[in-house]
Structure 1
Amino acid sequence: MIPSVLPTYNRTPLSFVKGEGSWLTEADGRRFLDLGAGIAVNALGHAHPELVATLSGQAQKLWHVSNLYQIPEQQALADLLVEQTFADTVFFTNSGTETAELAIKMARKYHYDKGTPRETFLTFEGAFHGRSTAAIAAAGSEKMVKGFGPLMPGFRQLPWGDMEAFEAAMDDSICAVIVEPVQGEGGIRPMPEDQLRALRAACDRTGALLIFDEVQCGMGRTGKLFAHEWAGVTPDIMMVAKGIGGGFPLGAVLATEDAASGMVAGTHGSTYGGNPLGCAVGLKVTQIVSDPAFLAEVGRKAGLLRQKLEGLVAGHPDSFDSVRGMGLMLGLKCKAPAADLAAAAREAGVLVVPAADNVLRLLPALNIPDEDLAEAVERLDTAATAFESA
């Protein structure tokens, strides 16, 4: 008999009833150090007092009116994002998947309105852009697309990091290039800065648009507000979600005026997107995370965590191969099965997130205290020891 909750997840048998900072409490009272942060969502940890106050304060005033009206909280967040980024305009959504849908529509509409319609997007193997029919067509992996055909046409996947294949595919028929500056689900794989710059140059040469998917790697996770800033390049369109809401469902598509020129009244919409509750929380998150002092602390904590993880790898050469990633978006490349090591970590009271390429993702809250980082690595050490002796 099918359960009342559609069984599309293999859920771990844990039921959390309370969160505080980087700690989660299970219904039976056990406490776990959370290095997953809801898959990079809880950027400021659980029950951050400023976010709680912001949400409860807004909830007592106004929840929802729809985009038929002006929404001051939405305007304030859009203004801040425009001030802090390359973008001239912002559309708010409820999720990363919705941002992918709009980014794809925006790019195709841009070329259509220019009088030279283009349909083909170049994407990269290992990518994850959401679960909609367009997003799974963009990623193209068998795991995501099997059984869901016919797929939306117009997407061509290229090998990750193969710039010869990319250059061979780029011509004036390409609508846009979609890339995660750091792949998350694909196994914490940063695209080298010179390759990001090459993508920008190729798009400029051919007239294609460059779309960055920063749903997982954005909002301060790499030590800059957005990961592409490390390469000194900017996209035409950017997808943002997860961390921007600090746990409240919120996403955004950021774009230049030119890239967004085709999206006039009636071309897109969202009933809930940009509602007062979400945007009030998103504004507070962005105000905190965009502060240069906060980002500097993310960088310092990232260096501390990476150093400790390198020691962990050295101490357990049969379990771990290496550390990779940027900022507080780190991956432990495993020699033993990552899923088994994740289970051992849970037994030791620390939560990590498996990814492709036999990698464990470590995505802690950006404000995690140093002592919690030390405790987390100690527990990972305990987990690896227990796994190796089993």
Structure 2
Amino acid sequence: MGYLVEMGELFLAGNYKREPIAFIRGFGTRLFTEDGEEYLDLTSGIAVCNLGHTHPELVKVLKEQAEKLWHTSNLYYTEPQTQLAQKLVENSCGDKVFFANSGAEAVEAALKLARRWAYENFGKEKNQFIALYNSFHGRTYGALSVTGQPKYWEGFEPLVPGITFIPANNKKALKSAFNEKVCAIIMEPIQGEGGVYPLEKDFIKTAKELCEKYKALLIFDEIQTGIGRTGKLFAYEHFEIEPDIMCLAKALANGMPLSAMLAKDEVISALKPGTHASTFGGNPLACAVALKVLEIVSDPLFLEEVRLKGKIIKDKFETLKEKYPQLIKEVRGLGLLIGIEFHVEVKKIYQKLLEQKILTTTPKSNILRISPPLIISYREIDFFMEKIEEILKILA
């Protein structure tokens, strides 16, 4: 056990189940430990470092901004923040942007906006939310309250009232849940923490139609799926609908703390001075980095590569599924957000990969999640798949 691991165990809170590994630097898809060991990172810090670690262009703009301005407060405008807001609006279905620091904060802002919008337009009785089972939206009380996994609630109840949960892709339950008191429905286009379960296009389309019928808002949580992860800049583009509110974070600034809530003009106009705020939200450092991230990721050729790489990985796993049907149950996902569901617990597979210096995540006991930096090379994909097949051969 290295020095940093020992110090971490002594002084850090125990709310994370950490591996006894301490990283001190990274470059591209690789991370390096205090002992000099090299790991292939197929997690991207949980879908955060879409452009990998210490991307030279991002480091350059960060250094340049660090010599100009770090913070002013949101009582004033700054150049990086206004430019980033413009870039996000020009490339999305949103009309205006609110910046915060984390995904949970973006979700909190979306929930508050939905209730405020409904209050101003229809009165205080229209305050109910619909959310999906197996979803994950964050750890703060509002975000936790619309997270449809009771294991995260334990010890923290009572939660925020007024939430109705329904199964994903169940149109009958969806229709039954809607009424005049619903102000919004919140959903992830792909349930990432739930095990990489994409929502069906028809389910999302029906939700949008019901929102229009009952004068409610459709909130898309794109915290994991946004910024190129699925092969589109935003995942809603796969489903041929536009949400009224969209939450972004994680990959927006490639690891710098930054989140955003985008909304239509007629909705976000409910956020008047004093209704919501964030001290550090949209700070110049993070916004400068995010501008460069969007410039790189929004390139159609870059996004086409993401789709191709994702298809290659999925196709290779489908081939392995045919060879090892007793082990692999299903392969799911879009772009480079991929979940492999097994008939067995994946702890051994995860540990074997870790021994081979490959980092993955396990959102559920039988699911392995792959979310590598979008810049992963075809050679690295081949290397990973070779190691996976070696492990499956042993387990078969």
TM-score of the aligned structures, taking structure 1 as reference length = 0.96
Structure 1, gaps ≥5 residues long: none
Q: Percent identity?
A: 42
> Does residue 83 of the first structure (1) align with residue 112 of the second (2)?
no
- RMSD between aligned residues: 1.4
Q: Does 1:384 align with 2:384?
A: no
Tell me the CA shift for residue 378 of structure 1.
Answer: 1.5
Say whether 1:14 aligns with 2:21.
yes
**Deviation at residue 150 of structure 1 after TM alignment:** 1.6
Residue from 258, 274, 277 that aligns with 2:282: 274
Matches of residues 1-390 of structure 1 in structure 2 within 5 Å?
3-117=10-124, 118-356=126-364, 358-386=366-394, 388=395
Matched residue SS, 1:248 = coil
CA drift of 1:357 comes to 6.6
Whether the 8 Å CA contact 2:170–2:203 is kept in 1: the answer is no
- Which deviates further from its counterpart, 337-346 or 168-177? 337-346
Counterpart-to-counterpart distance in 2, 1:355 and 1:340: 15
Task: Measure the CA separation in 2 of the matches of 1:17 and 1:40.
Answer: 19
Distance in 2, matches of 1:276 and 1:383, equals 46
Displacement over 4 Å in runs of 4+: none
Question: In the aligned structure 1, how far is the partner of 2:120 from the partner of 2:315?
Answer: 51
Whole-angstrom CA distance in 2 between matches of 1:244 and 1:103? 17
Contact 2:331 2:338 in 1 (8 A): yes
2:80–2:288 CA contact under 8 A, matched in 1 = yes
Amino acid at match of 2:119: Y
Instruction: Report SS of the residue matched to 1:114.
Output: helix
> Equivalents in 1 of 2:186, 2:368: separation in Å?
24
Query: Are 2:346 and 2:365, in contact at CA under 8 Å, matched by a contact in 1?
Result: no
Report the CA distance between 1:313 and its aligned residue: 2.9
In structure 2, what is the Cα distance between the partners aligned to 1:30 and 1:6? 26
The CA deviation at 1:3 is 4.0
- Quick one: distance in 2 between partners of 1:255 and 1:126? 25
Give the distance between the partners of 1:169 and 1:153, measured in 2 at CA: 15
Gaps of 5+ in 2: 1-8
CA deviations over 1:36-59 (Å, ceiling 9, x no partner): 010000010111111111111111
- Contact residue 348 and residue 380 of structure 1 kept, 8 A: no
Q: Please give the per-residue CA displacement for 1:76-132, whole angstroms capped at 9, x wherever unaligned.
A: 000011001111100111100000110000000001111423111000000000000
